[in-house]
């Protein structure tokens, strides 16, 4: 056989694995998608908490205005 062909057919030596090395990156596209989804979930969580705070402040404002209006109406009725 041709010596060049023998080189191709010969089994390659395995490199030693370093136990302290970080894991090899695999499934990069799925990892990227997961990170994007986590970021989206965090953004949505922040938005929901902001909207909850806004809703509670608006409810307090509505109650205050409702009480003020009822007091004004009661005074107008008494003064007639």
- What are the tens digits of pLDDT across the range 3-13? 777 777 777 77
Q: How far is CA 61 from the centre of its chain?
A: 31
Q: pTM for this structure? A: 0.55
Determine the Cα–Cα distance for residues 45 and 34; give it in Å rounded to an integer: 16
Report residue 16's pLDDT band, with 50, 70 and 90 as the boundaries: confident
DSSP codes of every residue in 15-58: PPPPTTSPPPP--HHHHHHHHHHHHHHHHHHHHHHHHHHHHHHH
């Amino acid at each position: 056989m041709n010596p060049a062909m023998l080189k191709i057919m010969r089994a390659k030596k395995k490199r030693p694995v370093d136990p302290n090395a970080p894991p090899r990156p695999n499934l990069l596209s799925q990892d990227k998608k997961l990170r994007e989804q986590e970021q989206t979930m965090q953004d949505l969580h922040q938005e929901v908490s902001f909207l909850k705070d806004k809703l509670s402040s608006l409810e307090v404002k509505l109650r205050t205005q409702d009480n003020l209006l009822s007091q004004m109406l009661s005074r107008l009725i008494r003064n007639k």
